[in-house]
A = this chain, B = another copy of it.
């Protein structure tokens, strides 16, 4: 047995017990985690300093180093994140359907945990505690495999969480952390069907496609967002400018940021200069088609690649379309099915866009930046699903459950 198989086996045993743990027991363990994170801040920061030093030596850009960095305030925020999960309702054991069979059997469909969830992630160390807390509350054991950049921070956080829950009576193996950050281990995780029920990759497009292409464990694909805003002929120009500006510039590095703007030809003359005047405040580059470039002197020429690109940066692609149908066609071709928006004052066009666009979230007259578990009322979020199986859009605690049918008979045969 490999080290990972041994971990998987322990996680599966822990998951069986955790599945039947009471809400009180789970919340007690979460409270212990939150307190332990605060108490061990110094230790976490010490380990984080090693990651930061390594990152500097490897020439990592300061903007990324900043995301990696932990200080007392950030650790307090991590603990606060765990406390927030305590406050959420327990998603396990809800009866979501049921019936009485003609023969008298009572059939009850209830929510149960998925079992063991594998999470392969890059990025910030706070994912370690966020993901562990959501999995624990939903009764799932978790196997965490973070990026090598944060290995020392993540290991410390995971070990602190394991120690904390063990003291409350839950098995430490409810939370497992893979210290080997080699590609081989990630690949092994993707084929650990015997022990992992679901794999959730969180990170860039490269990581996600590697998991989708190589995993035999069922995957929930997350995150890639090539989001569009279509400014219809009847749009309120000021509203359209504010929405595009917010969707592009409030946080360009996230998946619900706008990457392309499509403009109806009849409104382009008015809208594009107004949009550009606003976007240039944040030094946004516009990459336009010929028609856009003929209106905006400062626009760069877009090529085919730009339409499919998730810039995650202060760059926006822009294209002029003849009508809403051309806008819908363009979106159907290039969308990643994350979040799409129309700005319009035309009722029929709003309905058409809502009906014909196939994405997790379709907006009329609001910024795509709202696609988020907190904003949608889920309380917390483990990622945003861009696939159609299991769940679509922001995933909260309910999305980390599956179902089981309980059948109460008294001798029925078929």
On A, residues with C-beta under 8 Å from B are: 16, 19-20, 99, 101, 105, 107, 112, 114-115, 193, 197-198, 212-213, 216, 218-221, 236, 239, 242-243, 245-247, 250, 332, 354-356, 358-367, 369-371, 375-377, 387-393, 402-414
Cβ 8 A contact of A375, one of B101, B216, B218: B101
When the two chains form their complex, are residues A403 and B414 in contact, meaning their CB atoms are under 8 A apart? no
Cβ 8 A contact of A358, one of B101, B243, B404, B406: B404
Question: Which B residues lie within 8 Å of A220 (CB)?
Answer: 389
Q: Closest B-chain residue to A343, C-beta based?
A: B411
When the two chains form their complex, are residues A404 and B392 in contact, meaning their CB atoms are under 8 A apart? yes
Secondary structure type dominating chain A contacts: mixed
When the two chains form their complex, are residues B367 and A414 in contact, meaning their CB atoms are under 8 A apart? yes
Q: Closest B-chain residue to A351, C-beta based?
A: B406
When the two chains form their complex, are residues A332 and B16 in contact, meaning their CB atoms are under 8 A apart? yes
Q: A198-B389, A377-B99, A405-B393 are in contact. Are A365 and B112 (CB under 8 A)?
A: no
List 23 A–B pairs whose Cβ atoms lie within 8 Å, in order of A's numbering.
A16-B356, A20-B356, A101-B370, A101-B375, A107-B376, A115-B388, A197-B388, A198-B388, A212-B216, A218-B219, A218-B221, A218-B388, A242-B411, A354-B406, A362-B406, A364-B409, A365-B409, A366-B407, A366-B408, A366-B411, A366-B412, A369-B413, A392-B404
* CA of A219 to CA of B354, assembled, Å: 28
When the two chains form their complex, are residues B361 and A409 in contact, meaning their CB atoms are under 8 A apart? no
When the two chains form their complex, are residues A404 and B360 in contact, meaning their CB atoms are under 8 A apart? yes
Name which of A105, A112, A332 has the most chain B CB atoms within 10 A of its CB. Answer: A105
Question: Which B residues lie within 8 Å of A359 (CB)?
Answer: 404
* CA of A220 to CA of B390, assembled, Å: 10
* Shortest Cβ distance from residue A274 to the other chain B in the assembled complex, whole angstroms: 15
Question: Which B residues lie within 8 Å of A360 (CB)?
Answer: 404-405
When the two chains form their complex, are residues B411 and A403 in contact, meaning their CB atoms are under 8 A apart? no
